[in-house]
Chains A and B, each alone.
Chain A
Amino acid sequence: MRIGIVCPYSWDVPGGVQFHVRDLAEHLDRLGHEVSVLAPSDDETPLPPYVVSAGRAVPVPYNGSVARLNFGFLSAARVRRWVHEGRFDVLHIHEPATPSLALLTCWAAQGPIVATFHTSNPRSRAMIAAYPILQPALEKISARIAVSEYARRTFVEHLGGDAVVIPNGVDVDFFARAEPKAEWQGGTIGFIGRIDEPRKGLPVLMRALPRILESRPETRLLVAGRGDEEEAVEDLPAGMRDRVEFLGMVSDEDKARLLRSVDLYVAPNTGGESFGIILVEAMSSGAPVLASDLDAFAQVLDGGEAGELFPNEDAGALAEAAVRLLADPERRERLRAYGSRHVRRFDWSTVGADILAVYETVADGAAAVSPDERIGLRARLGLARD
């Protein structure tokens, strides 16, 4: 199959959607499909051979934060050329409901189009205003994929229509085979995520830490992620600060090794998560997981069977659960065993097969993707002579 994938966000900026697109493209490529990815990127950034640059994304304030977007004639022309030259059997666009490259592609192409909705953003004012413009573009999508039942629900409420649920994929064996690191072992709790982003929940964990250290003083907290380290430990009693180790940004290999080493992985995220790939990665590595009870997390953890849940933002409950788990190796072993069986459904072999099934369902018997030829004014009025 010839598959065209559109990544809405800059290739040179790390992010969940970008990683998903990269892994999907590489997985499909290994299966022998011809894959081309269109992504915004600086022209200087070195790109893998399967990525085509759509030009530099322009930072624009949108919906309360700065989004890096592609629009305008130049981007539209690049999109059309890519669609025209690619002669794809199917187009797979990501996040088409944001003003991004994906929406632009949706507008400029016709044929079998598959779309994945990653985030479950609440309906924004711009979306309501743009609804009459957005709707005709979204109508062209033959198949919609939501990354979780939760994302599907919000999607149905906001945009109408329906989607199939296919979770994000993880290379389970990559994490399962990682080598644990001795210095990260022995009574350790792991946390991975942006330090200065409150949504990721590090402040909740910091509030819980004194109580955890009270019962288990030998515990260490390992934090991997960007952000201000001084500020993060500000509220912690001075004597406890050395129990927190900051590892900074870690490579994929070190992330896997960290998850393989820790006794407990804590995900105290307070909201805004539509999937929870980090939980799947932790389970793949065999780390017992303790997570806040967000809808998306509860679903990934099989309703609390594959990992423990605590009430969102409740530092007391987090501390209590962490102490209990750290003191109970048997329970951790059971979570480990359940988790490593449970994650198989998130492995790329399963997820990739499902995504291919969607491609085949929409592409079977349909014409290939082509640029959507705009009908001229004369033709519309019946004046054009063929």
Chain B
Amino acid sequence: MPTMTTVILPAVAVLLIGVYLSWTAGRLDRLHARIDAARAALDAQLLRRASIAQELATAGVLDPAASMVLYQAAHDARQAAEEQREVAESELSQALRAVFDESAQVEAVRAAPGGEDTAAELAAAVRRVPMARRFHNDAVRAARALRRHRTVRWLRLAGYAPFPLAFEMDDEPPPALADRGNGAPQ
């Protein structure tokens, strides 16, 4: 009986704690991998949106003023340094909303040769950016919730992984492009 209480029980307890900690670290690791994947997907969508915007700006379909605004915003979004990225991408959203404020502009793009595809691509891009951002921020939230746990903080289970940050930006698509029904051809 003395061996039972002095040796076996503590050993079992240590073992269980070890398994729990290892499991939590694994969970955290998976969450970090999920954030990385989501961030890569978000980057890809943002880049895609900026490319199509730039393509449209230089295609000569839009009036010169709209072309310049769009080109500048798309260019800035692509070149922005990491800290300025959120602002630059938000400004591209605003520029897109300003340029495609009315459905006549969208129609003009569609009427140009090959414009149907470009308009569809732009519509897909402005729809996918908010999606990718939501998935990214959802992963960030889950990781942050776990990292706030006392065990994780005290035992530094997260290692040297940086504290995950949400990507905050204005990603509201232009209404004329986001309209899914009500007469707008898809």
Could you tell me which A residues sit within 8 Å of B by CB distance? 110, 112, 136, 139-140, 142-144, 160-164, 341-345, 349-350, 354, 357-358, 361-362, 364-366, 375, 377, 380-381
Contact = CB atoms under 8 A, between A and B. Distances in A.
Contacts of B30: 110, 139-140
B38 interface: yes
Given A364-B41, A365-B37, A380 B130 contact: no
A162 B142 CA distance: 10
Contact of B134 (A140, A163, A366): A163
Contacts of B38: 142, 362
A55 to B, nearest CB: 28
B34 to A, nearest CB: 6
Given A140-B30, A377-B19, A381-B18, A357 B135 contact: no
A344 B45 contact: no
A140 B37 CA distance: 12
Contacts of B37: 112, 142, 362, 365-366
Contact of A357 (B15, B27, B124, B181): B124
A143 B137 CA distance: 11
B141 A341 contact: no
Contacts of B134: 162-164
Nearest to A363: B41
B186 interface: yes
A162 B138 contact: yes
Given A142-B34, A357-B131, A160 B145 contact: yes
Contacts of B181: 341-345, 350
Given A139-B31, A164-B134, A344-B186, A361 B45 contact: yes
Contacts, number: 88
A233 to B, nearest CB: 39
Nearest to A357: B128
A155 to B, nearest CB: 11
B41 A365 contact: yes
B182 interface: yes
A381 B45 CA distance: 41
Given A164-B130, A344-B186, A380 B23 contact: yes
Interface string B122-144: 00100110111011011101100
Contacts of B146: 139
Given A341-B183, A375-B26, A361 B145 contact: no
A161 B142 contact: yes
Given A142-B38, A342-B181, A342-B182, A361 B19 contact: no
Contacts of A345: 180-181
Size range of the chain B interface in the assembly: 35 or more
A218 B41 CA distance: 60
26 contacts: A110-B30, A136-B27, A139-B27, A139-B31, A139-B146, A142-B34, A142-B37, A143-B131, A143-B135, A160-B141, A161-B138, A162-B134, A163-B138, A164-B130, A341-B183, A344-B182, A349-B186, A354-B127, A358-B131, A361-B132, A365-B37, A365-B41, A377-B19, A380-B22, A381-B15, A381-B22
B1 to A, nearest CB: 27
A90 to B, nearest CB: 12
B98 interface: no
Contacts of A139: 27, 30-31, 34, 142, 146
B40 interface: yes
Nearest to B45: A361
B127 A341 contact: no
Contacts of B130: 164
Nearest to A138: B142
Given A140-B30, A349-B186, A380-B23, A357 B138 contact: no
B18 A142 contact: no
Nearest to B24: A136
A349 B186 CA distance: 9
A344 to B, nearest CB: 4
7 interchain residue pairs of minimum CB distance: A345-B181, A345-B180, A344-B181, A380-B22, A161-B138, A162-B138, A143-B135
Contact of A142 (B19, B22, B44, B135): B135
A345 B182 CA distance: 8
Contacts of A362: 37-38, 41, 135
Given A139-B34, A161-B142, A364-B41, 19 more contacts: A136-B27, A139-B142, A143-B138, A144-B135, A160-B141, A162-B137, A162-B138, A342-B181, A342-B182, A344-B182, A354-B127, A361-B41, A364-B44, A365-B37, A365-B40, A375-B26, A380-B23, A381-B15, A381-B18
